[in-house]
Structure 1
Amino acid sequence: MKKYVILFTFFFCAGFAVAQSSVEQEIKQLSMDKWQWMADKDIAKLTPLFHPEAKFVHMSGTWTTERELEIIETGSIWYKKADVHDTAIEILGNTAIVWNRITLTAHVRGNDVATEFTVTEVYQKEETDWKMLALTFSSVRDTHEIEK
């Protein structure tokens, strides 16, 4: 009997780890897709991803989903390329938090600039879809590491 309890525990834990890993992979892919959609100015894909009440924190201010989509669509900030150097993800129930250490190349006020950031993304599962609740850019040194 003891052997069966140990086997059950092992397979239960292994199954949970795989499921957790699967959700983390789904969120990581969604985060990577989001960077590409921002670079492509693909409002059609970003609109359903961004929760209507989401907040976006940048170096120059904090604004709403509506304003973020307008900024992306008009190109007043063009997120040309996000080179992701490191990612950490935590899943807490139906909430996912993603930390990406990136070098962002953006076109701002007529100039291309490359800036090191740690970006914090918060997602919440609503029925079958993940919705972004928050996106925060934190300026960091290029030696910054995400502690896992």
Structure 2
Amino acid sequence: MARKIIWSLFLVFLSGQVALAQSTDIEQEITQLSQQKWQWMADKDADELAELFHDKAKFVHMGGTWGKDREVDIIRSGFIHYKKADVHEVMVEALNENTVILWNQITLLAVVGDNEVTTPFMVTEVYVKENSNWKLADLTFSKLLTRD
């Protein structure tokens, strides 16, 4: 009887460790994907971004909220050029094997229209897995208040 209990506890522990490892792997994968996204934005690689963005994705900026097609067009045209995102902090939480939220604290150097601006943001990214591929479903920029 004691053997069965010990064996059962071992299996529960082992399955918990496997689940934790899978969650960590997903979180690392999403962190890398987010970093790649920032590079594609800096490179104005609208084709790669169009593949990454979910068809129903929403993008929340200081100037408004819009969908995938408008975001891709804005990047392709250069109206917003995400020149460089200095990432200061990354937090990731896998809600399950198909949904992950990532938060980046960044300083973004961007060109908006004809103006180059540097802005501190907390950026929220929501990724969903669709047909074995991760898709960015939401990208929200929240401007951080800074102390002078």
- Where 2:89 maps in the other structure, the secondary structure is strand
The total of aligned residue pairs comes to 143
- Residues 1:17 and 2:10 aligned together: no
- Where 2:41 maps in the other structure, the secondary structure is helix
| Correspondence 1:1-148 to 2 at 5 A | 1=3, 2-93=5-96, 94-142=98-146
User: Is there any run of 5+ residues in structure 1 with no aligned partner, and where?
Assistant: 144-148
Q: TM-score if structure 2 supplies the norm length?
A: 0.91
1:90-126 per-position Cα deviation (integer Å, ceiling 9, x unaligned): 1122111111110000012222211000011111111
CA-CA distance at 1:82 after TM superposition: 0.5
Taking the aligned partners of 2:146 and 2:14, their CA distance within structure 1 comes to: 41
CA-CA distance at 1:10 after TM superposition: 2.4
CA-CA distance at 1:142 after TM superposition: 4.6
Taking the aligned partners of 1:103 and 1:136, their CA distance within structure 2 comes to: 14
CA-CA distance at 1:51 after TM superposition: 1.0
Q: TM-score if structure 1 supplies the norm length?
A: 0.91
Taking the aligned partners of 1:37 and 1:24, their CA distance within structure 2 comes to: 20
Taking the aligned partners of 1:90 and 1:25, their CA distance within structure 2 comes to: 10
Taking the aligned partners of 2:104 and 2:81, their CA distance within structure 1 comes to: 19
Identity value in percent = 50
